[in-house]
Amino acid sequence: MATIAESLGITWSAPVTDAPTYRLTHHAQQQAAAKGWTSADVLLAANEPLHTYPSGRVPGQVRHVRGDLVAIVDPAEKRVVTVYQDVAETDVRRDQTDADARRYADRRTTRLGQQISSRVDEVTY
């Protein structure tokens, strides 16, 4: 019987012998710098993740997670596409114009059309 992690495609230990060496894209470098991570931090997560699983958004891409750092890698191109903090919800940026981002932003409104900040800790009525 498969475990839940196996059913979801999560690998808890990445094989070291056949792991590719990833390189950073310009976007990944910019995102890492904006979030206070070094290129070495990102490459460690990409090349030596503590666990991995397929990206639910882009077929073929894989999430490599180490601590709270997620490196989205493209194994075919051996590159880190982007990087972000694991399980951190942020506001939708102006440059995020894809359908997924817009749908997410639209759901984060009240019945009166007011935006709900992702930084709200408590909602009172």
Among 90, 53, 88, 38, which residue's Cα sits nearest to residue 68? Answer: 88
Question: Do 8 and 60 share a domain, yes or no?
Answer: yes
pLDDT band for position 4 (cuts 50, 70, 90): confident
Question: Do 73 and 118 share a domain, yes or no?
Answer: no
Highest mean pLDDT among 14-18, 38-42, 84-88: 38-42
Please say if the pLDDT value at position 124 is more than 50: no
The predicted structure's pLDDT at residue 123:
43
Question: Do 94 and 116 share a domain, yes or no?
Answer: yes
Of the chain, the percentage scoring pLDDT greater than 90 comes to 45
Question: Do 75 and 94 share a domain, yes or no?
Answer: no
Q: What is the dihedral of CA 109, 88, 27, 41, to 10 degrees?
A: 170
Domains of the chain: total: 2
Please say if the pLDDT value at position 103 is more than 70: yes
Question: Do 81 and 103 share a domain, yes or no?
Answer: no
Whole-number average pLDDT of the chain: 78
Please say if the pLDDT value at position 16 is more than 50: no
* CATH number of the domain bearing residue 74: 3.30.2310
Residue 53 to residue 122: CA distance in whole angstroms: 32
The predicted structure's pLDDT at residue 111:
53
Please say if the pLDDT value at position 95 is more than 90: no
The predicted structure's pLDDT at residue 94:
77
pTM: 0.61
Residue 26 to residue 103: CA distance in whole angstroms: 27
- Tracing tokens 């639910």 back to the chain, one arrives at 56
Question: Do 47 and 94 share a domain, yes or no?
Answer: no
Question: Do 10 and 69 share a domain, yes or no?
Answer: yes
Please say if the pLDDT value at position 44 is more than 70: yes
